[in-house]
Amino acid sequence: MKVLMIAPQPFFQPRGTPFSVLHRLKALSQLGYKIDLVTYHLGQDVSIDNVSIHRAKRVAWVKEIAIGPSKTKLILDAYVYRRAVELLKRQRYDLIHTHEEAGFFGIRLSKKFGTLHLYDMHSSLPQQLSNFKYSGAQTLLSIFEKLEAATINSAQAVITICPELFNYVKTRFPQKYNKLIENVADNAIVFGETANGKMNATELARRYGLPMNGSKKGKTTILYAGTFEPYQGLDLLIESSQPVISRHHDKVSFLVVGGKPEQVAHYQDKAAKLGVSDKFIFTGQRPPEEIPEFMKLADMLVSPRIAGNNTPLKIYSYLRSGIPIIATDHLTHTQVLNGEVAVLTDCTPAAFANGMLRVLEDRAYGEKLSRQAQALAAREYSYAAYLQKTKEIYAYLESLL
């Protein structure tokens, strides 16, 4: 089956949907499918067998694109649509596999070119408008709701990436073939072990002045890794650090991996104003293949997210890590996490601080959570299961040809 995949994203960049696209491509490659990917002019080329990247026309003044809806994204999306049409006119495809708002393109393109349409649903797009505070206009929200419904109705099948989205589609579109495929894949599957000049754990520890496991002497490194968008809860993390640092000043440090330079500067300033800057290490954005190496330096993993309904991709690698997890008791986490595998807290600084302190002061409790988390990951979130689910939805679509 010849597949045209459309991903209106900067591919590849280390952020949510591009990671999901990356792992979807790797899985399909392993399953023997040949994919032409249409994507933005932005991003790093990644070599994957059976995958050809076709970039949309370069927009010279667009050097980067923010996460979430924007007027700039609309311009880039138009060029992606044009590039997809060029490829569809040039050769025959059996399937159009769309991500995010490219699902809107699939409504027309699948009909015009007589192909099947698979919609890869990473989020509810009307909800994105609210989460990113792009617009509260009811008219615009209504338009996106109708477009989303039309996309799902037009598609022969839908991939949903978390239980909340799965249940949303199942309830509203009960006749639709709807496959839940959680984003469980590790970056090492695509990138391999740290190489090509990227740092390993020992080098990272030396660079950032962090203790390795054999020389910790009671010291604790608390790791946050991810983007710095407001919904991620960096404000909550920094504010909650005060009670932890007050009680364990000489034993604890916060390692924060990610963020654009201006975002890092903003949170460095916030940490300084709260008097905790000496306990925070901000690395800025790092290559995705270094994240597992940073995790080797951590004694605690935190996810202070305060909004959204899709599960952060990092949660699955956190479960496998053998390191205690502290996360907010929010739908974005509780679709996967529970009180047996993580400390779940209210979205307040005091509650999140208490969660970190509980693990910090009761190592046996943290170790128990970690063992149970690893068992859950092995039981329900293995890469073998990810591949099998991908194979099943593509087999279903092949049966329609």
Interval 135-191: pLDDT, tens: 556 777 778 788 899 999 999 999 999 999 999 999 999 999 999 999 888 776 666
Enclosing domain of residue 331: 189-380
Does the pLDDT at position 198 exceed 80? no
Q: Are residues 74 and 118 in the same domain?
A: yes
E strand spans, 227-328: 252-257, 280-284, 300-303, 325-328
Distances (CA, A) of 134 to 61, 123, 128, 297, 390: 22, 15, 8, 37, 33
- The CA distance from 12 to 24, in Å, is 13
Q: Are residues 98 and 46 in the same domain?
A: yes
- Residue 215: CB atoms within 10 Å: 9
Q: Are residues 158 and 235 in the same domain?
A: no
- The CA distance from 397 to 400, in Å, is 5
Q: Looking at the 3D structure of the chain, how many domains does it have?
A: 2
Q: Are residues 136 and 267 in the same domain?
A: no
Q: Are residues 286 and 331 in the same domain?
A: yes
- The CA distance from 56 to 8, in Å, is 9
Q: Are residues 390 and 272 in the same domain?
A: no
Cβ partners under 8 Å of residue 90, min gap 6: none
Q: Are residues 244 and 98 in the same domain?
A: no
Q: Are residues 137 and 235 in the same domain?
A: no
Q: Are residues 41 and 148 in the same domain?
A: yes
Residues 294-351 have pLDDT tens digits of: 999 999 999 999 988 889 889 999 999 999 999 999 999 999 999 999 999 999 999 9
> How many secondary structure helices (H) and strands (E) does the chain include?
16, 13
Tokens read off for 225: 């890794």
Q: Are residues 222 and 173 in the same domain?
A: no
- The CA distance from 16 to 226, in Å, is 9
- CATH classification of the domain holding 392: 3.40.50.2000
